[in-house]
Amino acid sequence: MNQTYLEHIKKILHEDFDAYVNTLSLPAYRGLRVNSLKLSADEFEKISPWKLELSSFHANSYYISREEREIGKHPYHIAGLIYLQEPSASSVADQLDVQPGNWVLDLCAAPGGKSSQLAASLHHTGLLVSNEIDRKRAMILLSNLERMGVGENIITSSKPDVLCREMAGCFDRVLVDAPCSGEGMFKINEQAMIDWSMEHVCACAVRQKHILDSAYEALKTNGILVYSTCTYAIEENEAVVDAFLCDHPDMELLMIDADFGRAGFDHGCVDGSKVRRIFPMDRGEGHFMAKLIKRGDAQSASLRTIRSACPKEAEAFFENQLGEMPAYTMMIQDKLYIMNHEPLQLKKTTVLRQGILAGEIVKKRFEPHHHFYMAAQNESRLLNRYEMNEEECARFLHGDVIAFHQRGYYAMCWQGHVLGFAKGDGTYLKNKLPKGLRLT
């Protein structure tokens, strides 16, 4: 083990140091969170093939056995009913106290666990903007939110300062789950402990403060900001919050009222009793969180909206699949997006997706996209459904066709949950599950 790191953590933990060191030889906690966009935790408990132990971190979060394998290949995972997530990671999003209709920004959103949890709190209302500056990680974020059925969402890949300047004063809630030195992930990534250095911790702290400064600009008056990391260093946690409060005196540190974890540490103007820490001794892999409110006046950016008429090629599809037209549509090149909110025109922010990607116009005909069928707000309204048996489900997930003597597009379901779609040609349902999602 990295002795420099151990000396560093001993100064933080004092009498709890030995207990912490003992946890490093234990396997990491494993868990899953039920996606309430698609079903309730009670409903999932009745069908779960895995033994579940409810965690104290969130009402939909469970511990699962370290011995469970290939959960990601199970139809429940592919259908977006669950998100594999270390249980303590589910504790952060609740601190934002998201209300229906809120505009919410997740500024460092990949891989998407917290964004999908925030989307569940909004439940198809308001707006969720999920940003990830790294393009490769942003594509993972997009894929995960698509699987989880998130629709009222803008996925972006921009520098935080660019996005927050263009959408200044627009958000009721902002989450900064900041990139950090990852001390809470050392059991998962042993190399990270070997590579740990105080220089890296300090570099992370500088970046975290810059991100928080951008988040400040995005907040409305009385907007709530939650700052979180998965590391233990005071330099990246209480010290960053202290520096942020010193630079923004209209921000107020609020109490995190929780029955999990433990209080943080006093540092500068930060009252340690108001922030929250989770250590492995608390049955989590490590988190810090602080909750703040903006008391000062905020000038809101004037955002323009854009709208496109629904192309004729798609109208019959929507009537056939949903029995009605979408509330709003937007065409970008040949791709058609649908949503419940007016599409925003963002000129400086790099937008990867806005709303639900319904499909695209190909050779003067409309071809639907996987996202249209996975979107939770569409799922209960889909009129053309094919309920697969277990053998058909296995074949579908491997990319095979299924014998069927009707024509048209069908949502392919197992136990009532949509896994994707297929196109009937009168003989077979031709598989439209994206190749990257098929089991091998």
List active site positions: 230
**Tokens 């996209």, residue located:** 369
Structure tokens at 9: 């953590």
110 in a labelled binding site? yes
Residue 108 assigned to a binding site: yes
User: Are the C-beta atoms of residues 233 and 183 closer than 8 Å to each other?
Assistant: yes
Residues 49-55: contacts with CB under 8 Å, at least 24 apart? 49/74, 55/31, 55/87, 55/88, 55/90, 55/283
> How many CB atoms are located within 10 Å of the residue 124 CB?
16
Whether 277 contacts 290, CB under 8 Å:
no
Burial class, 88, CB count within 10 angstroms (exposed 0-12 / middle 13-18 / buried 19+): buried
Is-contact 356 375, C-beta < 8 A?
A: yes
Q: What b/e sequence results for 38-70 when a residue is b if at least 16 CB atoms lie within 10 Å of its CB, and e otherwise? A: bbebeebeeebeeebeebbbbebbbbbeeeeee
Query: Pseudo-torsion of CA 226, 268, 274, 245, nearest 10°?
Result: -30
387 is in an annotated binding site: no
Could you tell me which of 53, 55, 58 has the C-alpha nearest to residue 91?
58
- Six-digit token pair at 356? 């639900």
Whole-angstrom Cα distance, residue 280 to residue 229? 15
274 contact partners, CB below 8 Å, separation of at least 6: 253, 254, 255, 256, 263, 264, 290, 291
Nearest to 227 by CA among 189, 256, 269, 191: 256
**What CA–CA distance (Å, rounded) separates 215 from 431?**
43
CB within 8 Å of 162: residues ≥ 6 apart: 348, 349
**Tokens for 23?**
């946890």
The phi, psi pair for 368, rounded to 5°, reads -70, 165
Structure token digits, residue 401: 């066709």
The response to whether 113 counts as a known ligand-binding position is yes
Joined together, the tokens standing for residue 128 give 């969720």
Q: Judging by beta carbons within 10 Å of its beta carbon (0-12, 13-18, 19+), is residue 305 exposed, middle or buried? A: exposed
Return the amino acid letter for 192: A
| 177 carries a ligand binding annotation | yes
DSSP 3-state assignment of 71? helix
Residue ranges for the known binding site are 108-114, 132, 161, 177
Residue ranges for the known binding site for S-adenosyl-L-methionine are 108-114, 132, 161, 177
